[in-house]
A = this chain, B = another copy of it.
């Protein structure tokens, strides 16, 4: 085949299909695409394409199918599980140039948009109509709706308003062989199998999302946040349980531990009590009357759950400041240490105190500090492990620690991902989460869309062979799970 990489025949064919400048294949052009938000995995693709129309996406897919070339789709590249990590022999298909809002229908309360539209841009466009798009991942300024569909993204408000899948009406995809399919429809339900839900969270493994119709919600009349400080993390966990048991459904219910509180406070001056062991942020939204009555109820519960201090934001500026601390928690913690590794797992709410305690024990065992910032209301944890990649062996130790946390989540009846997806990062933990026959069913579904495995190969669902190997590695933990990859 000669020097395959430099002269791969697909490059000229792609250049013939796409506008000038839409095919990148020189090393310096490829570098910006070598990783997504999980920069621990880096790899250069064979070629990057930037189509501007659905027809161009179809043409690219037809060509890749013809030549049996792998394709990795990429939105804004903010994903945190390495799902958009390129394939070294494949096409990196960026949807960034499909970024138009096609239609906003206030009466149907929907917005029809291209996949490259930023999450927040939808709410900005809807605001003049008194509407907004509810799912709000921390990256909402930058992340794109196509990526949100691929990862089934959540956010602070998913406790009340659900994940991406609960806020979609229709998605158009381009299949591996270039066909355009419409999934879902105008109604709440749609006949036939629910391929709309199936594609949501499928991490680019089943098709390329080229159009998304999202449901919009009326802007609540009022939103208000209550901040409670606790001297003990377990008490804060019990307060979460008490709020939920009382029948309150907060718009958001977030917890931060002392490390996270101090980091956020030093970074953005949110006004957090830095001596607290943990804080809860509880947002209530709805009509004025509803929010007033629920705030009273929540304050009472928090005080009787042992909160040392309960503050209600006095105005919108203070409410925004309280949230700013939470939303900046990841970069804030990042300032404490040369590197940090953000985990994402889900546990049943009632196991929260136990899991926090065991995570503390693991932190001591590994000698690595952990900051905890999480969606307490739905049991979605985001432990941030602090480490220094320049110290020999510390990255591997961190990854091993991370694996133990995910396996702890599974052990207590939870899952290895809440909202960040499996991607490259957690593919081995899928072997812990699922039994072989369940993985086989996933592969059968994959084959129904992509029989030759060209879409995002090696991600999200492990082969049974890989699980068998991982089983062995699991016994001798401490080894690298992905030795074939370059590390930073």
Interface size on A, residues (CB 8 A): 85
Closest to A440 in B: B179
**8 Å CB interface, A125-169 against B:** 130, 152, 154, 158-159, 162-163, 165-166
B interface footprint on A231-266 (CB within 8 Å = 1, 0 otherwise): 000000000010011011100000000000000000
Q: Does A218 contact B (CB under 8 A)?
A: yes
Residue of B218, B248, B426, B444 near A448 (CB, 8 A) is: B444
Does A437 contact B378, Cβ atoms closer than 8 Å? no
6 tightest A-B contacts by CB?
A218-B247, A197-B197, A187-B346, A290-B290, A289-B289, A444-B448
Does B187 contact A130, Cβ atoms closer than 8 Å? no
Does A166 contact B166, Cβ atoms closer than 8 Å? yes
By DSSP majority rule, is chain A's interface helix, strand, loop, or mixed?
Answer: loop
Given contacts A197-B165, A378-B187, contact A192 B293 (CB under 8 A): no
This chain: how many copies in the complex? 2
Does B189 contact A130, Cβ atoms closer than 8 Å? no
A198→B165 CA distance, assembly (Å) = 12
Closest to A444 in B: B448
A213→B417 CA distance, assembly (Å) = 20
Q: Name 13 A/B residue pairs within 8 A (Cβ), A-sorted.
A: A108-B350, A130-B247, A154-B189, A182-B438, A186-B347, A188-B380, A189-B418, A191-B430, A193-B445, A193-B446, A194-B197, A286-B286, A287-B294
Q: Which residues of A contact B (CB under 8 A)?
A: 106-109, 130, 152, 154, 158-159, 162-163, 165-166, 175, 179, 181-182, 185-195, 197-198, 200-202, 205-206, 218-219, 221, 241, 244-245, 247-249, 286-290, 292-294, 346-350, 378-380, 413-419, 421-422, 426, 430, 433-434, 437-438, 441-442, 444-449, 460-461
Nearest CB of B to A217, in Å: 8
Given contacts A181-B437, A191-B416, A348-B108, contact A198 B197 (CB under 8 A): yes
Does A191 contact B415, Cβ atoms closer than 8 Å? yes
A347→B287 CA distance, assembly (Å) = 29
B residues within 8 A CB of A206? Answer: 193
B residues within 8 A CB of A347? Answer: 186-187
